[in-house]
Every structure is written in structure tokens, then in C-alpha cells.
Amino acid sequence: MDLKQLQYFVVCAQTGSFSDAAKVLYSTQPSVSKVVKALEDALGMQLFERLPRGIRLTVQGQKVYRYACRITNEIDALENMASHGMTKWIRVSLNPSSWFANQFVDFYNETYEKNYHFQLTTAGVRSVMDRVRDYVDDIGFVYILSQQKENFLHEISRNKLQFVPMYETDVVFYPGKETELYDSGKSKVELKDLDGVRFIQNYQDEFFDIGSVHEESFQWKDIDISVLTNSDYIMEKMLKNSRISNVSGSYLSENKTGTTPGIPLDMGDSKVLFGYIVHKGEKIDESVQELIDFLVARLHKSKTDLFHNAREIFFFRMAHNPPRGLCAFF
């Protein structure tokens, strides 16, 4: 068994086809098949099921794949060090979040002199989990609904991972500027209020990805998601200039500049949980821990700021739609 065999095996598993893997590896299909067969012989086990169209990992192959990913990724890291000196790379995957983006800018500036290098990848909950499991990334940050938690944690445990909650926040409705609910003065909205409302959601956010972990998980079955995007800029423009709305997790998905303050969406006991995924029982690298500590400190600060923000939102709504009997206070 050698490194080439492991690299070929990983690409085959990821592409699901010897011929597609050959294209990625700039090789030929017979050559790739031969290398994989040699690895199977060396290990004494069948790694792939040969199907009429493509290939599929066997149970043994799935276990070998996890180890192979870890080995090949570590080799890539070593080769990167050799070519760039002892540069420290921090590999992060996450659900798209403008809040995280803002914090990351500050973290980068604070640690600039340490010469950290970063690889940031946005993905859905399932993909983040897979990337951390396969050692493609050092850590993954995700949002999940509280209804998801039990099934999500089962999947986390099954993959020998650990989920560490960092913050719990409300589900918030952001009405577009051209909608009837904009400046409505409502202190909260219910699901029934969303009838006929069209939504713009990030195609990889916590709400669109819900249900991917388990079939019976909560899903947005009756909501009209008419625009999917991975662009905060497009979302901001749409909310400011059209009859479309958004649902996000409180300030953790904030920065909808120029739109009305979000309105809490009443979903009973449902909350949005924000946290990170790492390998269970493995020591977290100091640089990654530094990022975690930075975010925890920012979240703690935000809890204090949240009171002041809520107060500002209250006065904003009262100024635009003061209830009877309160006018004398303004």
C-alpha cells in the first residue's frame, strides 16, 4: 500500500466513477481501476461495489475512506508547509452567515501578525459535517433548529464527532420593504401570518437545509421560497426593493442593511442553535481554539448588546405605530 493508491481511492470515492476519477487525476480509466484493485489486494478487502453505472463504497470501504481522507489531507498540509514554510492554515466550513463574516474580519485583523492562513468554505449542515468528519476542515460552524437537535446529535455521534453549542437565539422574520408586514408594528408574527408571503433564503442556510439529517425532521413544507441565493448582496437588494421576505436566526444572520428590524417568529419552543463541530476526543489545535474563544467572547458581548438592540427596536416600532394610551410618553 502506498500514498498514490490512497489518493486514487479517495478521488474514486468522491466522484463515484473510475472514469470520472481518471479525468480528475489526469490518468486513464484502466490505470485507475488497476491502482484501486492493487489497494484492495493489499488490504485484503473489497472497497467498492462495481455497479452498472459507477461505483459505491462498501461498508469496509467507508471505514477506509475516513482514514484515507485524514492521511491524504495531512500529506497536503505537509506539502503546503514545505512550499510556504511553516505557515499555519486554519480550515473552516460553515453555514453562510453575515454575522460570522463580520467576526472573521475582526479576528483576521487581530491575529494578522501571527500570519495565520485560512480556508473558508460555506456549505449546508450535512456537508459541513462530512467535511469535518473527513478531515477536510478543522472545524465546522452550523445553525440548527431545536427540533433538529435529537436527530442531529445522533448523526454527530454516529460519525464520531462532537457538537458544542455556543448560542441559542430566536427565529426572526425580516419583511421586505414592499411587503404589507413592513412597518406593521407587530411585536411578533405567527406561521399563519406568512400565508401568501414569498421568501428569499440562502440555499445553504440553516432553514433550507433542515431535514437533511433525518427524514422526519422539521421542514418548511408550506413556505414559498421563490429565490435561493448564496449572495448577501442580492438578499439585501431584494429585501430593500421587492415584495419578498426572509427568515433567519436573530442577529446571527443579521446585516440586512436598510430593512426593517426583524420581527420574532412565534414557533412555540423552537430556537436556533449555533455551535461548532469537531472530532470527538481529539485535541483542538491552538489556533482553532483561539478562533473559538474569540467567537465566544463576541457572543457574550452580543448578549449584552442584544438588550440595547431590543430597546431600540421597541422604540422604533412605537414611533411608527404607537398603541393608544402610549402617545403621551413620546
Residue 188, pLDDT score = 86
Give the CATH number of the domain where residue 228 resides.
Answer: 3.40.190.290
What residues are paired with 142 via a beta bridge? Answer: 275
Residue 322, pLDDT score = 40
> 3-state DSSP call for residue 264?
strand
Written as nine digits, the cell of 71 is 492521511
Q: Is residue 126 in some structural domain? A: no
Q: Which residues of the chain have pLDDT under 70?
A: 80-87, 203-222, 249-261, 302-330
Phi, psi of 228 (to 5 degrees): -115, 130
Can you give the pTM of this predicted structure?
0.63
Amino acid at 239: L
Q: Distances from the Cα of 73 to the Cαs of 64, 133, 207, in angstroms?
A: 14, 12, 31
Residue 314, pLDDT score = 39
Q: Give one DSSP letter per residue of 19-59, joined into a string.
A: HHHHHHHTS-HHHHHHHHHHHHHHHTS--EEE-SSSEEE-H
Residue 327, pLDDT score = 29
Closest CA to 273 of 150, 181, 179, 185: 150
Q: Is residue 290 in some structural domain? A: no
| Distance, C-alpha 222 to centroid of its chain | 23
Q: Are 198 and 173 in contact (CB under 8 A)?
A: no
What residues are paired with 275 via a beta bridge? Answer: 142, 165
Residue 144, pLDDT score = 84
In which element (H, E) is residue 308 found?
helix 286-320
Domain boundary among 271, 287, 314: 271
| CB proximity list for 310: less than 8 A, separation 6 or greater | none
Residue 287, pLDDT score = 93
Domain count within the chain: 2
Q: Is residue 285 in some structural domain? A: no
Q: Is residue 57 in some structural domain? A: yes
Give the CATH number of the domain where residue 2 resides.
Answer: 1.10.10.10
Q: Is residue 312 in some structural domain? A: no
Residue 21, pLDDT score = 93
Report helix, strand and coil shares of the chain as percent, to nearest 5: 45, 20, 30
Domain boundary among 238, 271, 304: 271
Residue 215, pLDDT score = 39
User: Domain range spanning residue 215?
Assistant: 167-271
Q: Is residue 104 in some structural domain? A: no
Closest CA to 64 of 20, 5, 24: 5
